[in-house]
């Protein structure tokens, strides 16, 4: 039987001894330089790394065969929050993290006592980085990558930091950096901005910044006090029939300039980090608001406040306005509220509940008068607990209405306008009259979104931060010429 491992080792040892992949200056040869993103030193390499570095290695070997003097360096990425967050979680005694890193270390070290000792040393971020940097280097050698290992470095080394400083000065001199205040993903524990690599499962959950529109509904019995509802679709305000709050939630009344807002307690940190200046006045049980009335911000219609379990206090303001003709969640919640006679629990007269009728405001091809009711019937959605079906119905209907929908006559001056255009125009109309404003929320395929340190990730608006101006057309043109 052929001993492939022995053959592999023989040639890899020879490559290293002869310095086959070491690139020195050769004036008579064409040059080719390539680099592949450095691996993070937050754990061992996985199969995805193998694919990425093999692609780079194929390219390097191909150009060598063409006669180029090829420089293929490598480094270990130790900067940013991933490494620091590991140390923090181990120091805090996080069982899942400790078990995970025990398994990682055991890939390289079989002595349980040494594994324990190494894990203990991981309370210092530098030890995590150093341990995995050396293992990554060795694993890439075993993979057979044609790298010039004389040039291996870690990104926390002083000369590399100086290179990054030079790079930013260069970009700034070309006018490619700009300073401003923008919404960014932010870890409450680390107290800094986070990107995909800083977020747990960041490459899978695709966390991003989402803009929400906040619409103010004044309490009928309390002038100047508003239930502030968050939405993605301000254009549907013409079809609002009632407001939803989660009966298990506790709202907070806050003073913002001359107004009083009622919002979820979970939203306060977000509002604060997004630059809102407010004073907390008192806590209010959401259950105590159910059965009361608010006024619609446009026509001034009386709208009931009703309970709904689907309302998430940790999303937006924890208050939602209901458009059952065009929102599957709203239709299902309203139907459940009626059919199960939940109104009796809150002492709401039956006739007031039965008077709530869906209001059709968008004409959309392939749907009738009330698209949300139609799609729920078609998909057999009967309960707020059928979240997968409700999400699918919501996304399907939202997509159809956004791209193909047109506002009906009930929408006044906006009648005949496409939904894609009306969404922003209606919001501007409300905002100019002091009836609406904005806030930002985290959008992701899975929630909650957590930093690798375990901290909660929200959206913050940081003042006077520096950003790369990627919208500049020159960047693409320069890249094409490379």
pLDDT, position 465: 86
Residues 150 and 220 in one domain: no
Residue 84 confidence (pLDDT) above 90: no
Residue 80 confidence (pLDDT) above 80: no
Q: Quote the DSSP letter at residue 306.
A: E
Domain containing 77 equals 4-156
Query: What mean pLDDT, rounded, does the chain reach?
Result: 94
Residues 260 and 347 in one domain: yes
| pLDDT, mean of residues 10-26 | 94
Residue 291 confidence (pLDDT) above 80: yes
Residues 240 and 336 in one domain: yes
Residues 226 and 144 in one domain: no
Residue 129 confidence (pLDDT) above 80: yes
Which residues are bridge partners to 457 per DSSP? 187
Say if 152 falls within a structural domain. Answer: yes
Say if 328 falls within a structural domain. Answer: yes
Say if 472 falls within a structural domain. Answer: no
Residues 293 and 386 in one domain: yes
Residues 317 and 234 in one domain: yes
Task: Write the DSSP string, 62-101.
Answer: HHHHTT-EEE---EEB--SHHHHHHHHHHHTT-HHHHHHH
**Considering its fold, how many domains does the chain have in total?**
2
Strands in 257-413 per DSSP E: 259-264, 279-285, 293-295, 302-307, 319-322, 362-363, 406-407
Which residues are bridge partners to 407 per DSSP? 362
pLDDT band at 471 (very low <50, low <70, confident <90, very high): confident
Task: Write the DSSP string, 152-218.
Answer: -EETTSHHHHHHHHHHHHHHHHTT-EEEEEEEEEEETTTTEE--GGGBTTHHHH--EEEEEEEEEEE
Residues 221 and 84 in one domain: no
Global pTM value: 0.82
What is the C-alpha separation between 210 and 183, in angstroms, rounded? 9
Residues 258 and 359 in one domain: yes
CATH of the domain at 401: 3.90.740.10
Residue position matching structure tokens 């907390």: 280
Sign of CA dihedral 235, 239, 242, 245: negative
Say if 171 falls within a structural domain. Answer: no
Say if 176 falls within a structural domain. Answer: no
| pLDDT, mean of residues 233-256 | 97
pLDDT band at 203 (very low <50, low <70, confident <90, very high): confident
* Last residue in a domain, options 156, 175, 195: 156
pLDDT, position 174: 87
């Amino acid at each position: 039987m052929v001993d492939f491992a022995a053959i592999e080792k023989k040639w890899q040892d020879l490559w290293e001894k002869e310095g086959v992949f070491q690139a020195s200056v050769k004036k008579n040869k064409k040059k080719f330089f390539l680099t592949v993103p450095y691996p993070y030193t937050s754990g061992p390499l996985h199969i995805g790394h193998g694919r990425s570095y093999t692609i780079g290695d194929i390219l390097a070997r191909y150009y060598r065969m063409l006669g180029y003097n090829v420089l293929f360096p490598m480094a270990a990425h130790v900067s940013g929050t991933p490494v620091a967050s590991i140390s923090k979680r181990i120091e805090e005694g996080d069982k899942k993290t400790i078990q995970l890193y025990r398994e990682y270390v055991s890939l390289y070290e079989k002595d349980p006592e040494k594994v324990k000792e190494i894990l203990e040393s991981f309370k210092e971020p530098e030890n995590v980085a150093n341990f995995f940097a050396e293992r990554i280097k060795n694993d890439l050698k075993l993979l057979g990558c044609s790298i010039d290992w004389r040039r291996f470095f870690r990104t926390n080394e002083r000369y590399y930091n100086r290179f990054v400083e030079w790079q930013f000065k260069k970009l700034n001199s070309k006018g490619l950096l700009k300073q401003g205040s923008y919404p960014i993903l932010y870890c409450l524990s680390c107290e800094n901005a986070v990107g995909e690599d800083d977020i747990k499962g960041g490459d899978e959950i695709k966390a991003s910044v989402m803009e929400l529109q906040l619409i103010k509904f004044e309490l009928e019995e309390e002038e100047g006090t508003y239930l502030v509802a968050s939405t993605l679709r301000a254009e549907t305000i013409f079809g609002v029939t009632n407001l939803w709050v989660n009966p298990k939630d506790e709202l907070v009344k806050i003073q913002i300039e001359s107004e009083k807002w009622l919002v979820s307690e979970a939203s306060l940190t977000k509002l604060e980090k997004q630059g809102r200046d407010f004073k907390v006045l008192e806590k209010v049980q959401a259950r105590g608001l159910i059965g009361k009335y608010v006024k619609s911000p446009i026509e001034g219609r009386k709208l009931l406040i009703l309970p709904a379990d689907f309302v998430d206090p940790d999303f937006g303001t924890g208050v939602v306005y209901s458009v059952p003709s065009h929102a599957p969640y709203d239709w299902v919640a309203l139907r459940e509220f009626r059919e199960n006679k939940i109104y009796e629990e809150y002492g709401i007269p039956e006739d007031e509940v039965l008077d709530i009728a869906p209001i059709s405001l968008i004409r959309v091809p392939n749907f009738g008068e009330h698209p949300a009711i139609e799609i729920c019937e078609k998909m057999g959605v009967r309960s707020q607990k059928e979240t997968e079906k409700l999400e699918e119905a919501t996304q399907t209907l939202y997509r159809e209405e956004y791209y193909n929908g047109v506002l009906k006559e009930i929408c006044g001056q906006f009648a005949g306008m496409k939904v894609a255009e009306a969404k922003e125009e209606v919001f501007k109309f409300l905002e100019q009259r002091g009836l609406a404003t904005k806030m930002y929320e985290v959008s992701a395929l899975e929630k909650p979104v957590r930093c690798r340190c375990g901290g909660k990730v929200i959206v913050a608006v940081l003042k006077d931060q520096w950003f790369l101006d990627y919208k500049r057309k020159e960047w693409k043109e320069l890249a094409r010429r490379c």
